[in-house]
Amino acid sequence: MIVEKIVTNIEQMDKEEVAKRHKEKVYLESAHLVKRIQRVTTDHGTEIGIRLKEPRDLVAGDVLYLDDKNMIIIDVISDDLLIICPRSLNEMGTIAHQLGNRHLPAQFEGDEMLVQYDYLVEELLQNLQIPYKREDRKVKQAFRHIGHSHD
């Protein structure tokens, strides 16, 4: 099977419609969510080629296949993350500036800043005394590097 477009996202579907279908999942590392062309295997052994026509990243919950009885869904493997919990706007500005200088991509969930684990960043957080925790967590989208040069 070759998938050329995403049918929908499971979060946009009616819960009863989702519940009545047999579900297979494709587990991807968050870094693979940016790949428009790849070969994957579901948790039930179904091989799928993904060749998206539109330039978009995959997102957790994307439905690759849907019929009356079955659906194939994208899920994401947990990442080793630093969850940064600044106590003030000053702390947020300080760490955002420091991470920006390193061109380190970040994501935000509520009041938390998520970055992929890096021992140097952990050391920086300790030195700046900014609260953080390290945990394995699923992210819905890939950590995307923004192209930039210092000309």
Q: By three-state DSSP, how is residue 141 classified?
A: coil
**Tokens for 46?**
């179904």
Residue 34, phi then psi, degrees to nearest 5:
-85, -10
Residues of the chain within CATH 3.30.70.790 domain(s) are 79-137
- What's the CATH superfamily of 79-137? UreE, C-terminal domain (3.30.70.790)
In this prediction the pTM is: 0.75
pLDDT by residue for the chain (151 residues), tens only, comes to: 899 999 999 999 999 989 999 999 999 998 899 898 999 999 999 999 999 998 889 999 999 999 999 999 999 999 999 999 999 999 999 999 999 888 888 889 888 999 999 999 999 999 999 999 999 998 887 887 555 444 5
Q: Residue length, the chain?
A: 151
The bridge status of strand 79-84 relative to strand 112-116 is antiparallel
Q: Please list the residues that pair with 65 across neighbouring strands.
A: 72
> Out of 3.40.50.620, 3.40.50.300, 2.60.260.20, 2.40.50.140, which CATH number does the structure's domain 2-76 have?
2.60.260.20
